[in-house]
Structure 1
Amino acid sequence: MDFTSQLMKKYRSFFSLPSKSFLAVQIMLIGMLFCTISYWLALGSEGITVGLIDGAISLGLSGIICGHMICKKDGFLTARRALGLILFGIIFVGIGILIGGLLAKAFVNSLILERTYFLTCGVVVVYEYIVIAAVSKDKGIRELFESLAQPTSIVLVHSAVIFIFEGILFAYGVLMFILTCAVSIMTAKLYYSRIEDVGKKILGVGSVSLFRSFIASFILDESEFLENDLKRLSVTKDVEIRTLSFKNENGRCLLVAPLVHPGPFRNVGGAALPTALAESLAGAGIVPLIFHTPTTHEDDPVSSEDCRRAISAVINANYSEGDFKASKPSSSKVGRVTVTVQIFGKTPLVVITRSPIPTEDLPRHVHDICIKKLAEKGYFDGVVVDAHNSMDKEYEPFEKQDEEDLLAALEKSLAAAEETGDLFAGFSQSRLEGFTRKDGIGEGGVMVLVTQVNSCKAAFVSLDGNNLMCGIRERIKEELSKIGYEISEIATTDTHVVTGTAGGQGYHVLGKIVPEGALIKKIVKTVKEAESKISKCGVEFSKHVLRDVNLLGQQGLEMLWSLTEESIHVAKRGIVWLLGAPIIFATVLFLIF
């Protein structure tokens, strides 16, 4: 699993919550449980009724109302997340009053419970303030109101309940609450400022602010803020997009292999590039065939604008009929590496896989050594594809021996592809009906190119997903061989629009949710559709160069990782005094009053 997938896994789990109704029930039950036990400890059986009522009203009902008061329909803090925030606040208060109940029982003094009740509500402001400051764009009075809403409502409603049942007005309790709140807010502000300073020192933008931008992108699909932050650590490079344009009497197919990585995630930067390319080409009446190249997250475009430039360059280019000759397809396996080659005109298409070995992104170095090998064999250029078609829970790195086996397999495939002839080709694209990004498939669906040279047929299939379950590629090839395609390769685009849509590793590898049978059936059907449109075909190789593209880069990844690690370190180190200062202050007030 790569770096951004780990982030998806972590944050997806963090933000996963039950339904609103279930949270509301939990708030009521937990509030009643804590209060009932605490008052039973302090007052005996007489306290059970007071505890039930106080828990239901002070903690439960007021909490639900506060949750709906501070929520926003169009922001991160939806009603469900606001209720989740309230629930954890109630648990915090509940633990405090439970301790108060135990102390009241030990010292036979029920007033101890009341003092801890008010003081705990003041201390919980620390938690409320930090969470709201981290996830909300609101600042100043609004931020303060949201942080104080729950603890203040608990104090006010609880005071009313005690006055009604006990005839006692704890004015000093309210004063204790106000003083503790003041200390809690000052402590929280200092803590927040220290964490922010880590990011400002490394990146020029606060750590919490960067986290908030991440949330806006991940949860709300508002990528602009995060892209602007990532530009601060990006490097500027020229980027190549290699294409093979196929034209026959039935239309045009454009094979696109951008030398950028489709990341980092969701709709940020280049994450949606493969899917957007497929949709844009299809919208222009061109059958897309989008491939993943040997690139990693170092090559992530951080700007959506750069991706729009890439799409425009590909679609608006002038393509001619090109060359009507091609080689026979060939495929060779050496060690764990399989290389499939077909030479179109004078340009080899090279597709690399280690399936069924679980494999992540091949490094950019793999592309470079393949191009060097092609040059040694007399080819001016080529299109190198990372099939990205075998994944499990863990993967094995691409090692030095794999590189040597790759070059040996490439050399064998090139030698076997020397025979040439007229190129006949057909192409087709289809959607996987009933399945969406959440299931692991993008809008590009199934994209197919079939070729025939001197009666030798080949099928190149690209699936708009992020990798394929181990072994499925082999079973697809078996089915395609039954209809005459002895040489075929199945690839995925590595689109990152499917990331952050599921629990666990943050996305579904193709074949995990989409049934294998349905996937194979759709691929075979699309291959047959492409074959029905086969005719003599011309092909043209092009290389489009985009100037000054903002890429994440190795240094950017290292800075991002350093910022994350240092921020977590500061947060952990400061958590003691973040909670300690208000608790110590509350303890002093407890002893004074």
Structure 2
Amino acid sequence: MESTFKLQRKFRLLFTLPSFFVSLVIASATSLSIILIQGIFSNAIMSQRYEATAIFFAAFLFSIILERLILLRHSFASVRRLLAMSIVPNTSWAILSAFGLYQYSISQEQQVFYLMVVMGLSTAISIRIIILGSVFFKRISVGTLVSFIQPMLLFAIIPFAQTGVLFPIEQFSLLLAEEALAFSLTMVIPIICVGYLILLSKTGGRIIKNSPLIIFQGFLQAWVAERPKVIEELIETFSLEKEIVTSVIEFSDEKDTPTKRRAIIVPEVHPGPFYPIGSSNLPFELWKWSDSNNLKSLVFHGISGHEHNLASKAVVDTYLTEMNNLQLVSDGSTCTEPKSRSIGRATVSGLAFGDYAMLILTLAPYGMEDFPIFVREEINKAAKSIGFNGSILIDAHNSIGVTPVREDCEDIIQAAKDILRKIRFNTQMPFKMGYSHSNRLGIKLKEDVGPAGIGMVLFEINNKMHGIVSVDANNVALGFRDEVLSKIDDVIDICTTDTHFNAAKVMNSIGYTPFGGESSVKEISKVIKTLRIAAEKSMIKSNFVVKRNKNSYKVFGSALLDDYSVGLDRLFNIAKIGGVSTFLIILAVYALGITLVK
């Protein structure tokens, strides 16, 4: 999804911050460079300079600890990030101080050096206003006050390095009296930055009628600290209710033994937009729900797009609660053999359980994304007209690409109709069913597989084996699925859940890692063969029941996510323009200040 990639691209720096040790070294070096420049200017004895440097460094570390305490409720305001955050402001301060020292060496005017030191202080405060005001505080005024803490603590030590007096009030008063206008200009810089931040806070998208800075903060809390409450509260405000259908086929032996109950779960909920917001980790949530209900399940991806993202964790909890109220719509003990049909780039595989059809839709080996909703509606309508009581449609989502074009959709609908006609009148027969799952076998998987792991259901129909594999992943690397299938037997298809567990957090062109992005064909072939052996050992003669749940839930549509992305685009564009303008104004202030002193 383009908006997901845009979010990843904008905020990838959150994942490329230096380590704690590197941050500490760089932040310490930049802060110490400020006091060392004062030492060069000073005529104080060396022992006094060393003492001032030690006090300055202690004040710097104390300010980091103090800021961490102030920002204690912000878990992403780690010491590492606060250290990294101090690098740019303090570097700017050091550069301006060095420039002042250079100007002093030319003009021999002490006021020029003092002015540039104060300008550096003002610049450091201003940069911190922009960072703290936009990232950590809902009220810009509070962020502005906190922005003064570290620079003012450090500035208080500078006179000691030069005069041996911690607060030389007389010298300050004399300097301000002589160059009042020049030094008053230093206050213009923070004022400009506060105004700049206020301007940014007024810029938003078409749908989200809120300050984009507040939304940005909520997003960071969710994305970095995995605290989605703020952003989800905003999302729920603008969410719409849509009817969602979830289908479950439960399998059991004739005695309905609790330890032998298995299930195929096909939600028409989209697992997005990105973790931990909304239904991004729904496949694993459903896997845990089924496990708590003595069901050994496989979760698949129903036909649903980003317009069917559940709005919040609260809505997900409601959805899972409603899963306990599934309605029985069909049952039996027979099924047909699976059939497959390809038209153009479209392939449909399916079998019938009594009067319900289960179809798997794919465009593999060609690239694909979510099938549009009208595909589901057309196939469901066709199933009813052919004589089925209903159909359960699985979007295999197993070959990364773009949204299917109209021709592909028409081909998939036609192939589905052909399969429905075949299996509607094929002989149904008793079957055995086996189940296995990586989480239950302790199989270790790589980061391209989500927490719901890899599972297999294996059917023995008419003395032939037919397996279906579900992988908790967001699509499959192009060609990977076909390479794996070429090395294993008796598998109808390899499907993914379309989990968004790692969406927007991976630094590549799509913002996530598809299945096969880290795992090798050899590794996955071995895993599936292991699963097949385990599934065959668990094979039992099975009955089935089809259950469905239809309820309305608040969904976070793609339009809202796109508008959030657009709002941030506008925010960053204005930030760039305003940033350049602010920089030019600040340069003018620097030049004017130096001119007035001279």
Instruction: Find the aligned partners of 1:433 and 1:170 in 2 and give their Cα distance.
Output: 70
Q: 1:509 aligns with which of 510, 514, 524?
A: 514
The residue number in structure 2 matching 1:237 is: 242
Question: Displacement, 1:273?
Answer: 1.4
Question: Displacement, 1:236?
Answer: 1.6
Distance 1:28 1:189, change over 3 A: closer
The AA in structure 2 aligned to 1:303 is S
The residue number in structure 2 matching 1:573 is: 577
Instruction: Find the aligned partners of 2:108 and 2:321 in 1 and give their Cα distance.
Output: 78
The residue number in structure 1 matching 2:64 is: 67
Q: 1:361 aligns with which of 347, 363, 370?
A: 370
Question: Displacement, 1:529?
Answer: 1.7
In the alignment, is the contact (CA less than 8 A) between 1:28 and 1:56 conserved in 2? no
Instruction: Find the aligned partners of 2:111 and 2:189 in 1 and give their Cα distance.
Output: 23
Question: Displacement, 1:115?
Answer: 1.7
* TM-score (structure 1 length as normaliser): 0.87
For residues 410-429 of structure 1, the C-alpha deviation after alignment (integer angstroms, 9 at most, x for no partner) is 24434554343223212232
Larger deviation, residues 224-233 vs 415-424: 415-424
Mind listing any 5+ residue stretches in structure 2 that lack a counterpart? none
Distance 1:6 1:350, change over 3 A: farther
1:150-189 counterparts in 2 under 5 A? 150-164=150-164, 169=171, 172=175, 179=184, 182-189=187-194
* Number of residue pairs aligned between Structure 1 and Structure 2: 581
Q: 2:470 aligns with which of 459, 462, 465?
A: 462
The AA in structure 2 aligned to 1:339 is V
- Residue 398 of structure 1 aligns to a residue whose secondary structure is coil
In the alignment, is the contact (CA less than 8 A) between 1:136 and 1:212 conserved in 2? yes
Instruction: Find the aligned partners of 1:590 and 1:472 in 2 and give their Cα distance.
Output: 64
The residue number in structure 2 matching 1:127 is: 127
The residue number in structure 1 matching 2:204 is: 199
Question: Displacement, 1:85?
Answer: 0.7
Kindly, what percent of the aligned residue pairs are identical?
Answer: 20
Instruction: Find the aligned partners of 1:186 and 1:223 in 2 and give their Cα distance.
Output: 33
Question: Displacement, 1:264?
Answer: 1.3
Q: 1:306 aligns with which of 311, 315, 320?
A: 315
Distance 1:555 1:572, change over 3 A: same
CA root-mean-square deviation: 3.5
Instruction: Find the aligned partners of 2:209 and 2:277 in 1 and give their Cα distance.
Output: 20
In the alignment, is the contact (CA less than 8 A) between 1:241 and 1:544 conserved in 2? yes
The residue number in structure 2 matching 1:528 is: 533
The residue number in structure 2 matching 1:478 is: 486
Q: 1:560 aligns with which of 560, 564, 572?
A: 564
Larger deviation, residues 267-276 vs 496-505: 496-505
Q: Does 1:325 align with 2:334?
A: yes
In the alignment, is the contact (CA less than 8 A) between 1:359 and 1:388 conserved in 2? yes
Question: Displacement, 1:169?
Answer: 4.8
Larger deviation, residues 332-341 vs 288-297: 332-341
Distance 1:376 1:490, change over 3 A: same
For residues 483-519 of structure 1, the C-alpha deviation after alignment (integer angstroms, 9 at most, x for no partner) is xx1x421111112223355443544323333454333
1:34-53 counterparts in 2 under 5 A? none
For residues 148-184 of structure 1, the C-alpha deviation after alignment (integer angstroms, 9 at most, x for no partner) is 122213322222212249x995553798898456434
Question: Displacement, 1:456?
Answer: 3.0
In the alignment, is the contact (CA less than 8 A) between 1:427 and 1:448 conserved in 2? yes
The residue number in structure 2 matching 1:424 is: 432
The residue number in structure 1 matching 2:404 is: 398
The residue number in structure 1 matching 2:398 is: 389
In the alignment, is the contact (CA less than 8 A) between 1:480 and 1:488 conserved in 2? no
The AA in structure 2 aligned to 1:571 is A
- Residue 444 of structure 1 aligns to a residue whose secondary structure is coil
The AA in structure 2 aligned to 1:380 is N
Distance 1:358 1:235, change over 3 A: same
Distance 1:107 1:179, change over 3 A: closer
Question: Displacement, 1:102?
Answer: 4.3
The AA in structure 1 aligned to 2:360 is V
1:99-114 counterparts in 2 under 5 A? 99-107=99-107, 109=109, 111-114=111-114
Q: 1:445 aligns with which of 427, 444, 453?
A: 453
- Residue 244 of structure 2 aligns to a residue whose secondary structure is strand
- Residue 471 of structure 2 aligns to a residue whose secondary structure is strand
The residue number in structure 2 matching 1:90 is: 90
Question: Displacement, 1:9?
Answer: 4.3
In the alignment, is the contact (CA less than 8 A) between 2:53 and 2:161 conserved in 1? no
Q: Does 1:371 align with 2:376?
A: no
Q: 2:285 aligns with which of 276, 279, 285?
A: 276
The AA in structure 2 aligned to 1:407 is I
Larger deviation, residues 252-261 vs 534-543: 534-543
For residues 10-52 of structure 1, the C-alpha deviation after alignment (integer angstroms, 9 at most, x for no partner) is 3243353122221111123345567778988x89xx99x99x9
- Residue 322 of structure 1 aligns to a residue whose secondary structure is strand
Larger deviation, residues 100-109 vs 446-455: 100-109
Distance 1:295 1:95, change over 3 A: farther
Instruction: Find the aligned partners of 1:472 and 1:33 in 2 and give their Cα distance.
Output: 53
For residues 257-290 of structure 1, the C-alpha deviation after alignment (integer angstroms, 9 at most, x for no partner) is 2112111111211112111001110122101111
- Residue 202 of structure 2 aligns to a residue whose secondary structure is helix
Question: Displacement, 1:291?
Answer: 0.9
In the alignment, is the contact (CA less than 8 A) between 1:440 and 1:508 conserved in 2? yes
Q: Does 1:489 align with 2:477?
A: no
